[in-house]
Chain A
Amino acid sequence: MRWNPQTSKFAAFLTKKDIDLRSNTKMLYLGAASGSTASHLSKILADGVIYAVEFSWKPMRKLVELSKREKNIIPLFFDANRPEEYAPYVEMVDFIYQDIAQKNQVEIANKNAEIFLARGGVLLLMLKTRSIDAVEETKKIASAEIKRLDEKFNIIDVLKLDPFYKDHVAILANYDHP
């Protein structure tokens, strides 16, 4: 199946910016849903591993089935708000990809990076601004949220995801934690 930027924010992001995804990348994917994006990523990260966290049981069912087919997807039925609960299962990773429509998206990213993101690791955060404020301008919300990112992050790029996704901003950052 073709990787469609209309249905995957990661694909939409790649149409705007080329990032270097090594095949042995260890990735923590927060908000993996039923795994359509994860299935594409699993091919790119052929020698790596994807720790796919999802907290809704309906998509989780599909994710479990997918993980049986794709050898490098680990399904984790946990709340991304409580990383300490899945910490026993997840090693240090080089990449956190987050796509969660919650008000505290940035807080979730901070908490997870603190525990799992290796020094020099990358965060790609798909910020859904409408989950934070229903009326405020996307730009304003985004800049306010970026300020709330942990200071250990160095922002590399901030990109809007239109025309594929309205009210979404992709934040790419580097992590500098000893």
Chain B
Amino acid sequence: MRYETWFGDIEVELEEGEYEDPSREVRRHYRDSARETGIAVKEKDYIELLKEECISLAKTKIKLKAEEKEKSIERAITTMEELGDATNSLSEKLLDWYGEHFPELSLRREETLEVIARYGSRKRIIESNMDKKIIEKAKESDGIELSIEEEKILRRFSKSIKEMRELENELEGYVEENIEAITPNLSSFIGPTLVAKLLSLSGGLKNLAFMPSSKIQVLGAEKALFKHLSRGTPPPKHGVIFQHPAIHNSKREIRGKLARDLAAKIAILARVDYFSGESRGDLIKEFKDEIKKKEKQK
């Protein structure tokens, strides 16, 4: 009988009827068989070689899984971004509309949405136990009246926007959690949100890993870059990595330098994440310290 093992197929002849389950007997002697085939001559070699084999197998499979996951994350990222744009422009429309009815309500956007969803018309606000000042404003408002039909639509509209916001948050949580799993090093260096943006701009971790740092530096500033190339305007110093606090919190004069440095480190960590996937806490600490040092320099 032939048996498949990690060190190759082996041929074992056992006398019929001697063992109830011959494969168990074969498995009892894996180490001997490996020695006989000349693969693991010493006892400790067996474990060492087997481990090597299993690690490389596991790594290949992990990479496959991670790539599968990446596609679904990319979808989630684009959905999240479009949802964000849509809710922003829709809530703008809603606030304009409601503003005709109650122009004096000067709350923040999210609070206004909440008020619309919960109460609707000024009449209901006056009847509610809200902040006295707002009730006062509602009483003296000179906005146009709202029909029952309109009120119903506006409340519904506002609830929908709130729900879309919740979906956006949920997507964000999903994206962040999974981005951390795919890019342990990059995420811990610049945070999952920025990694998500870099991945969606570059078209995936593989692309990012193969990208020169000069390109990473201006990812997201394509318009300025091509304007520079075609019309000779000054080149962009930073693309989306501007969102990293080390850059936008620093003085204008050193932002270019920092962007260049940050992009170089991102390029390295993208490659670590893509090719090995190992967490390199030591490297991240070193990089963070270097960036900090440069931030303080003039």
Distance between Cα atoms of A118 and B48 in the complex (Å): 23
> Please, which residues of chain A bring their CB within 8 A of the CB of B253?
none
Distance between Cα atoms of A58 and B279 in the complex (Å): 12
Interface mask (A161-178 → B, CB under 8 Å = 1, otherwise 0): 000000000000000011
> Please, which residues of chain B bring their CB within 8 A of the CB of A57?
61-62, 65-66, 69, 181
Distance between Cα atoms of A15 and B218 in the complex (Å): 58
Minimum CB–CB distance for A124 against chain B, Å: 20
Minimum CB–CB distance for B64 against chain A, Å: 9
Task: Check B62–A64 contact: CB distance below 8 A.
Answer: yes
Count chain A CB atoms within 10 A of each CB in B6, B30, B53, B54 and give the residue with the most. B54
Minimum CB–CB distance for B3 against chain A, Å: 8
Distance between Cα atoms of A134 and B249 in the complex (Å): 51
- Contact residues of A: prevailing secondary structure: mixed
Q: Which of B20-28, B111-119, B155-163 lines the interface with chain A?
A: B20-28
Minimum CB–CB distance for B39 against chain A, Å: 13
Q: Which residues 10-47 of B sit at the A interface, judged by CB distance below 8 A?
A: 19-21, 23-24, 27-28, 30-31, 47
The reply on A92 being an interface residue by CB < 8 A is yes
> Please, which residues of chain A bring their CB within 8 A of the CB of B48?
71
Distance between Cα atoms of A49 and B31 in the complex (Å): 13
Q: Which residues 207-240 of B sit at the A interface, judged by CB distance below 8 A?
A: none
> Please, which residues of chain A bring their CB within 8 A of the CB of B251?
none
The reply on A87 being an interface residue by CB < 8 A is yes
Task: Check A91–B58 contact: CB distance below 8 A.
Answer: no
Interface mask (B129-146 → A, CB under 8 Å = 1, otherwise 0): 000000000000000000
The reply on A13 being an interface residue by CB < 8 A is no
Binding site for A on B (CB under 8 A): 3-6, 19-21, 23-24, 27-28, 30-31, 47-48, 50-51, 53-55, 57-59, 61-62, 65-66, 69, 181, 184, 277-279
Q: Enumerate 15 A-B pairs (CB-CB under 8 Å) in ascending A order.
A: A57-B181, A58-B181, A64-B62, A67-B54, A67-B55, A76-B58, A77-B57, A87-B27, A88-B4, A91-B31, A92-B28, A118-B28, A177-B21, A177-B24, A178-B21
Binding site for B on A (CB under 8 A): 49, 57-58, 60-65, 67-68, 71-77, 87-92, 114-116, 118, 177-178
